[in-house]
Amino acid sequence: MTFKIFGAVLIIFSSWVTGIIFSMNSRYRLDDIEEFKKAVTMFINDAVNISMPLSCVFDDISKRTNGVVAKIFLDASVIAEKKTEKSAEDIFKKAVEKNLANLYFQCEEMECLYSFAKNLDCPFKNQQKDNALLLIDNINAVEDEIRQKSQKEQKLYNSAGVLCGILISVILF
């Protein structure tokens, strides 16, 4: 009898842990979007206010951010130094495509990434700054949506994990 109870508790616990693992996907997505927002803010400071060269801006941002976003900017810095692409937009898009498998972004965040890439080729610094500030506002809106959705998903997956564990235990015993 104690063996069955121990098995049921183990099944419920493992199902709950599985629910937690599924709910972490939205957390990683939220972390990536926060790092991207931080990178855009640094871009405003480095490229617009200080007028650093683009490869130096990308390298500086890669050193001051974390995760996949840092890798994207590091790759963009390397590509910009090689001068193989025609425009800054192409450089950034190539770096994003290179790191696409590691990103947790979905459609809305990818639109933010590509609009940032389009902003890189803007000839006027004031317009570039205004576009980056609009992008930050857009990122904040997307981040709020993700945060609300993440809280709901965490509750859902945790509850579903426990309930599935109970169901499996009932069916087996």
Average pLDDT score, the chain = 86
Q: How far apart are CA 3 and CA 15, in angstroms?
A: 18
Amino acid at 43: F
All residue ranges of the chain with pLDDT < 70 are: none
pLDDT of residue 160: 86
> Residues near 43 by Cβ (< 8 Å), separated by ≥ 6?
57, 61, 116, 132
Taking the whole predicted model, whether its pTM rises above 0.85 is answered as: no
pLDDT of residue 47: 76
Return the domain boundaries, the chain: 28-153
> Residues near 93 by Cβ (< 8 Å), separated by ≥ 6?
114, 117
Amino acid at 168: I
